[in-house]
Amino acid sequence: MNKPNIIIEFESGKKVELRAVQIRDVQNASASAAKHGQGDAMAFQIALQSELLKILLVKINDQPLSATEKEALDDHLELSEYMALQAQMQELVGNAKVRSRSFAGISGSK
């Protein structure tokens, strides 16, 4: 599915362009985060979010970022902007609403 990129503009005037999230992006970010091997669920979650942002980040202020620049986001973003992008990413990934749930092969329910 082709979805348009998302442009987020901060009050400072800085613009960040993110690619729409796809399933393979989450899978690739998970694989990359697992390489950190910290064994801690919280550390894995933080690494996952960081890796996903690097995958989705297209441009900052209309300037494409190299892989090296994506590894040095401190040079391009304030901490508050980084955290806001993390929150926006969570919103973009979202949670699908489930209409109903049933169990295959089981009749009747309580």
- Choose between 93 and 48: higher pLDDT: 48
Q: How far apart are CA 35 and CA 65, in angstroms?
A: 23
Give the confidence band of 84 by pLDDT, cuts at 50, 70, 90. Answer: very high
The tokens for 75 are: 């040079």
Classify residue 23: in a domain, yes or no: yes
| Measured CA distances, 30 to 19, 26, 46 (Å) | 17, 6, 11
Classify residue 25: in a domain, yes or no: yes
Residue holding tokens 């040079």?
Answer: 75
Classify residue 100: in a domain, yes or no: no
The tokens for 62 are: 């209309």
Classify residue 99: in a domain, yes or no: no
How many distinct structural domains can be found in the chain?
1
Classify residue 53: in a domain, yes or no: yes
The tokens for 61 are: 């202020």
- Give me the pLDDT at residue 104, please: 75
Classify residue 110: in a domain, yes or no: no
pTM over 0.85? The answer is no
Classify residue 106: in a domain, yes or no: no
Range of the domain at 22: 6-92
CB 106 within 8 A of CB 26: no
Res. 1: pLDDT tops 70: no
11-68 per-position pLDDT tens digit: 999 999 998 888 899 899 989 888 876 678 888 888 888 999 999 999 999 999 999 9
